[in-house]
Chains A and B, each alone.
Chain A
């Protein structure tokens, strides 16, 4: 018995556990028999333990390079660094589905444990939904072809294929689990929404128990998106962070609708409104999360990430259709129970702004959805597949994004129900004045006026940031008046005492910074493509780039050839920084030819010199198709073949033949090495021209700084109040009210 067999057995048992959980919870729900619901919950716990064992078994196989496991052979090798051996698990179809199922089981166990004494009527159905999803994903691994992480290989290869070099980056290593955790965690509020709909318990209790899971989902999704964009910016020789590619859009859509959901539930918690909105938003968010998982593996849309057809595409699509159809039917049948307890009283209230916010975010998600699926829509309508490129997305997303920034500033300045008349001037006056000053300054001192969209974005952002600053100041001042502790301490105290509000404000600050930098870096970018030989210089924006000298070296451990460069970046004649952009070539095979080096994977090492104000970015690409070089490679390969391959190939089956084949391979390897060394010398002599792409991106670093601030804000908002403290607060009020009661 091997551990792999044990792991596979655990996967089967997990499937059975989920199946049991679904049946038992439905039975317990219909017959109001608590024992079966408890039993079903234990089934989920069991599945979580079993799936954890599956993950452990596979990670162990990766760590000991057990190439009898197909997953390990395809995505790892003995030379792969340990970190990437462990993260290679989710680089495959089977591994990533296992990750989905595993996170689902852990999160489900968590929420079911936390609610084991609560929501008597809702929990059975929520459990059933979560188990149903568990059945689907474990079932995919067991039944869909090519998705079983425990598939074995026979005969066992001696070496694995290794990880795609493009993925050997820390950001790419954790990007998938971050995204998947985001997607999966949205299933928790979704399951409880369905449970609440089925059980007709549509007060806020389902929201209160799952709010934190929704917030965590949002945080993970944000981190995943930021990592993907960051990796693209620093690793790919393109210098962009977002291309409106279908796979990128697939993660952004649930993020947008999830954001709307998190805001909208606040309204239901306080004012009992937007109930239909909330159940609809979470169902759409979850459907989009599934869609995100689906798009990456379906092959239905042309994308630079399109990973081709796979066998799990159709079942996922069926699940999405089921989720949408089922939720819609349920919501419509429960419309009576979803009637709002109150109406929006004033347009100048927080509830009204949140409603507008819902609409804006849904609008954005819709535009992106439409643009992403347009090829299919066009094919259905005209018979021709057409695509919409990035400019179309930019054109329609920008105005809505600008409005979103405006409302992230307006919302915090309003109160629930309405603010007092006359307060509006005091609250809105300073931020509006500040924004006006910023607008004038930008027009006068910069060329922002050349990009009206960006200019409006900056102005609205200034308004919003000033408003948020005012909120922090007012809150700290009021706290200070209470305790007289000093400004910094008061600020800390008011944030901690009102984590949801101030955490939310922090998220807004982060989002605004990110939007401003997106506007700046896309509207005011300077870019150029230049071919240079050593000694050449070029100017881009305020910078001068000099190609000082080429460098070439080989890394035999990683089987990699690097053609690099030393470049000097100057500004106003002063040396800013010396960068070393380079290009890595990974040999595609062991055929011993020179060309094989350049037919495998190639990655770019980007040279970056960045500051708060702008980023200088450059990538290089040697041109090996120069006729002289092309000739050299072709001739070298021909000579290697002539020198090493005999008239009659020895028979590898015979022991003498196998020895001879090994000898040939070694000889070829040696000649290949000599030829490569020659190429390196030629490169270092400056015989090979290099194409440099140079970008000067203003404010781009603030995308990630803003993103990090947003994530921190989310964590602040999610931070649990110690229940003792909560009870104390309630008791204080209860005491006061009891006094009133006594008097009433």
Chain B
């Protein structure tokens, strides 16, 4: 077999393998993923499987056995809230007022969370704190 033909075959094989693997990747990703849902969406329709619920913590309390119960509100409509039952590692920044993502199943209107799935967002490094204070005027004029 002349070297050019060998090269072409090698190229075709390599590309086919790549396409096959990419397809497998894409296929399994949709099954492996969890949907992100806001409290409004959770209240509107109970999802079948596990979901990533996200929202702002409104109230929280720790139970005697160490597990947590807290309520998250929809960032867009804070009247829509969902209670969460959670066991496991609680990140340092977690507290009322922080944005969180937690994975779990909806059972009778409460999100029963997967252990250790709580993620709390770090407070924004890039929001301009001074901007939020109405007493301070930012001087951008030359």
Contact = CB atoms under 8 A, between A and B. Distances in A.
Instruction: Give yes or no for direct A-B contact (beta carbon below 8 Å).
Output: yes
Interface of A: 8, 70, 73-74, 91-93, 146, 148, 151-155, 157, 161, 164, 166, 236-238, 297, 302-308, 310, 343-344, 359, 363, 366-367, 370-371, 374-375, 378, 382, 384-389, 391-392, 396, 529, 531, 598-599, 601-604, 621, 623, 625-626, 630, 691, 693
Contact of A308 (B22, B54, B124, B139): B124
A48 B25 CA distance: 46
Contacts of A344: 7
Given A307-B126, A343-B7, A166 B62 contact: no
B43 interface: no
Contacts of B126: 92-93, 297, 307-308, 310
A158 B36 CA distance: 43
Given A308-B126, A310-B126, A625-B62, A387 B33 contact: yes
Interface residues of B, number: 53
Contacts of B122: 166, 304-305, 307
A374 B29 CA distance: 8
B110 to A, nearest CB: 19
Contacts of A308: 124, 126-127
Contacts of A366: 22
Interface in B3-44: 3, 7, 14, 18, 21-22, 25-26, 28-30, 32-36
A223 to B, nearest CB: 21
A151 B140 contact: yes
Interface in B73-116: 88-93, 95-97, 101, 103
Contact of B36 (A155, A302, A371, A626): A302
B125 A387 contact: no
Nearest to B101: A302
A396 B22 CA distance: 11
B89 A693 contact: yes
Interface of B: 3, 7, 14, 18, 21-22, 25-26, 28-30, 32-36, 52, 54, 60-62, 66, 88-93, 95-97, 101, 103, 119-131, 135-140, 142
B42 to A, nearest CB: 13
Contacts of A161: 129
Pairs of residues from A and B, 7 with the lowest C-beta to C-beta distance, nearest first: A386-B33, A625-B62, A152-B139, A385-B36, A308-B124, A307-B126, A93-B126
A105 B95 CA distance: 42
A429 to B, nearest CB: 27
B103 A389 contact: yes
Contacts of B121: 303-304, 306
Contact of A157 (B90, B123, B124, B136): B136
Given A153-B130, A623-B62, A164 B123 contact: yes
Contacts of B54: 302
A529 to B, nearest CB: 7
Q: Chain B at the A interface: mostly helix, strand, loop or mixed?
A: mixed
Given A154-B136, A307-B126, A166 B33 contact: no
Contact of B30 (A307, A378, A625, A691): A378
Nearest to B117: A389
Given A374-B33, A388-B32, A531-B66, A307 B25 contact: no
B140 A625 contact: no
Contacts of B119: 304
Nearest to A245: B119
Given A152-B139, A691-B66, A307 B124 contact: yes
Contacts of B33: 374, 378, 386-388, 392
Contacts of A93: 126, 128
Among B26, B129, B137: residue with most chain A CB under 10 A: B129
Given A151-B138, A387-B34, A603-B92, A307 B130 contact: no
Contacts of B127: 307-308
Contacts of B140: 148, 151-152
A34 B25 CA distance: 52
B36 A375 contact: yes
Contacts of B61: 625, 630
Nearest to B140: A151
